[in-house]
Structures are given as C-alpha cells and as structure tokens.
Amino acid sequence: MATKSHVEVRPTLWTGLSPGTSSAVGSDAATRRRVGQKAGPGTVAREKSVRIAIVDNDDVLSSLFSTLLTRLGYFVEFVAHDGDEVVKAVSEGRIHPEVILMDYRMPRMNGIQAAEKVLRVAPETQIILATADDLVRGDATSAGLLFLLKPFSTVALVRAIEYALGRF
C-alpha cells in the first residue's frame, strides 16, 4: 500500500459557488451535487456503510462534524473528546471505524499519539488528522496519517474521506 500523504484540495474547483461564499454550509442536495452524489428520493448514498469515528475535544466541532457526516450519508459510529477514549474503544473492540477524523490538540494525548496506538491495534483503520496547526503536517504524514488543515470545507472533508477509502 502506498504511504498516505497530504490531500491537496482546491474547493473553488468543486463548489460551483460564487467567490466569497462558503462551501461548508449548504443544502443537502447542493452538497451532494458538489461531491458527485445523486440527489433525490430513493437515492442511497454509497457511504452509508462507512463507519466513522470523530475525535475532537471541541464539543461544537465534534457535533458539527457528526451532523454533517450523517447528512452526507456516512455512519458516525463513535464520538470521543480525547485520544484516550478512542484508543480504549478500539482496543476493547467496542468500535470498528474504517475512518477516524481526529483533532491534533487534545487533553492527555495528542492526535498523532492516539493514532499510533489505534493503528497498533487496528492497522486497517484510516486516520485523518484535522488540525489548525500546519506545523504538524510532516509529523502526521510521517506517521502514515492523512492531513487536513482546519478550517476546511465540506468538499475537502469528503475528498479526504474518499481518498482514505481508496475511492479517489
């Protein structure tokens, strides 16, 4: 398997929005069109079976990510507020996420430390380190993690997940 690296995202090429408008918020149908899904009654998002865990000590962000990913058709299996929680849940076999969206700066254990522990137990898990700290990009990619710089758009998040799953 090729090593993971930073995913380059150019939201302006994908959003179809006018300059100065945000791509992070919009109607579900508009969001699906931007990420290549069909919108409409009876449409089943292919991601529905993809299990995702969210790890972020910011309650507002973890709730936002959970709501957004659920609306996009992903299955949010677990939400944790620090690295210890997700490491324990994976180690005990309580969760089996295919993708973990993990913050870097958290109490007790940073996102890279938590990711390394998760990958020892579940090496098939794909981990996206999402942080506003661009200085850890090299450490994240060296650890085999995908890197997503906050703030990011909905399109950037979906592209990172799809890339992690090998669909991009």
23 or 114: which leads in pLDDT: 114
pLDDT for 40? 35
Question: What DSSP state is assigned to residue 58?
Answer: -
Helices (H), the chain: 11-15, 28-34, 59-71, 83-91, 111-121, 137-142, 154-164
What is the per-residue pLDDT across 119-151, written as a single tens digit (0 to 9) for each? 999 999 999 999 999 999 999 999 999 999 999
From 3.30.429.10, 3.40.50.2300, 3.30.565.10, 3.40.50.150, which CATH number describes the 46-164 domain?
A: 3.40.50.2300
Domain ranges of the chain: 46-164
pLDDT for 3? 46
One-letter identity of residue 51: R
pLDDT for 117? 97
Residue entry with tokens 């990913």: 69
pTM of the model: 0.73
pLDDT for 168? 59
